Amino acid sequence: MLASLRNEKRPPYTREIFWADLRASITLAASNVPTTMALGVISGMGALAGLWCGVIVGIVAALFGGTRAIVSGASAVLAVITATLLTDSEFTLAELAVIIVMAGAIQIALGIAGVGRFVSYMPHIVLTGFMSGIGVLLLAAQAEKLIGLGMSDVAVAAVCLALLLVWPARAGKFLPAAFAVIAVGWLLALFLPGVERLGPVPTGLPVPVRELPTLDFLPRAVGPAVLVALISSIYTLMWALIADSFTGGQHNPNRELFGVGLGNLAAGVLGVMPGGATIATMTSRRFGGKTVVASLVCMVIVAALILGLGRYVSPLPLAALSAIVMLVGWKMIDFSFLRKAPRMDPRHSTVMLLIMGMTIFVDPLSAVVFGVIAANIVNATQLESLELDSVVSTPFLDATFDADSSGDYEARIGLLAFRGSFTAASSRKLIRLIGDDIRDHEVVIFDLSNATHIDDSAANLLALLADRAKQTGTEIVVCGVSDRVRRTLYAFDVLDRIPGDRIVETREEARSLAWSLLQ
265 and 404 co-located in one domain: no
Specify if 473 maps to a domain. Answer: yes
Residue-range definition of the domain harbouring residue 415: 392-518
How many separate domains does the chain show?
2
pLDDT tens digits along 320-346: 888 888 887 888 888 888 888 887 778
Mean pLDDT, rounded, for 439-452:
81
Specify if 328 maps to a domain. Answer: yes
Question: Of 344, 376, 408, which residue constitutes the final position of a domain?
Answer: 376
Specify if 203 maps to a domain. Answer: no
pLDDT of residue 160: 92
309 and 448 co-located in one domain: no
Specify if 207 maps to a domain. Answer: no
HEC states along 259-293? HHHHHHHHHHHCCCCCCEECCHHHHHHHCCCCCCH
Residue 34 neighbours by CB under 8 Å, 6+ apart = 178, 179, 181, 182, 316, 320, 321, 324
437 and 310 co-located in one domain: no
Specify if 475 maps to a domain. Answer: yes
Annotate 200-255 with DSSP letters as a single string. ----SS-----PPPPGGGHHHHHHHHHHHHHHHHHHHHHHHHHHHHHH-----HHH
The Cα–Cα gap between 301 and 21 comes to 13
The Cα–Cα gap between 277 and 279 comes to 7
Question: Of 376, 402, 417, which residue constitutes the final position of a domain?
Answer: 376
412 and 349 co-located in one domain: no
Q: 87-101, 111-125, 286-300 — which is least confidently predicted?
A: 111-125
Q: CA-CA distances (angstroms) from residue 374 to 125, 353, 378, 511? A: 10, 12, 6, 44
pLDDT over 60 (residue 423): yes
Specify if 4 maps to a domain. Answer: no
118 and 64 co-located in one domain: yes
Q: What is the CATH number of the domain that holds 448?
A: 3.30.750.24
Confidence band of 267 (pLDDT split at 50, 70, 90): very high
291 and 408 co-located in one domain: no
The Cα–Cα gap between 294 and 118 comes to 29
Annotate 179-198 with DSSP letters as a single string. HHHHHHHHHHHHHSTTPPB-
169 and 318 co-located in one domain: yes
- Please list the residues that pair with 72 across neighbouring strands: 277
At residue 449, what are phi and psi to the nearest 5 degrees?
-65, -25
Q: 20-29, 246-255, 293-302, 372-381 — which is least confidently predicted?
A: 372-381
pLDDT over 80 (residue 440): no
78 and 155 co-located in one domain: yes
Give the number of other CB atoms < 10 A from CB of residue 8. 10
At residue 445, what are phi and psi to the nearest 5 degrees?
-100, 125
pLDDT tens digits along 357-368: 998 888 776 787
The Cα–Cα gap between 76 and 332 comes to 9
Confidence band of 442 (pLDDT split at 50, 70, 90): confident
Which of the pair, 449 or 13, is modelled with greater confidence? 449
Mean pLDDT of the chain: 80
| Residue 73 parent element (H or E) | strand 72-73
Question: What is the model's pTM?
Answer: 0.64
Amino acid symbol at 62: A
Q: 28-32, 237-241, 277-281, 398-402 — which is least confidently predicted?
A: 398-402
287 and 319 co-located in one domain: yes
pLDDT of residue 398: 42
Specify if 387 maps to a domain. Answer: no
pLDDT of residue 387: 52
Amino acid symbol at 363: D
If phi > 0 it is left, if psi is from -120 to 50 it is alpha, else beta; for residue 248 that is left
313 and 181 co-located in one domain: yes
Alpha helices by DSSP H, 455-500: 456-472, 483-491
Amino acid symbol at 108: I
The Cα–Cα gap between 212 and 214 comes to 7
492 and 453 co-located in one domain: yes
Contact 131, 334 (CB under 8 A): yes
Burial of 256 (0-12, 13-18, 19+ CB in 10 A): buried
Helix axes 364-391 and 218-247, enclosed angle (nearest 10): 70
Contact 30, 24 (CB under 8 A): no
299 and 435 co-located in one domain: no
Residue 406 neighbours by CB under 8 Å, 6+ apart = none
Specify if 204 maps to a domain. Answer: no
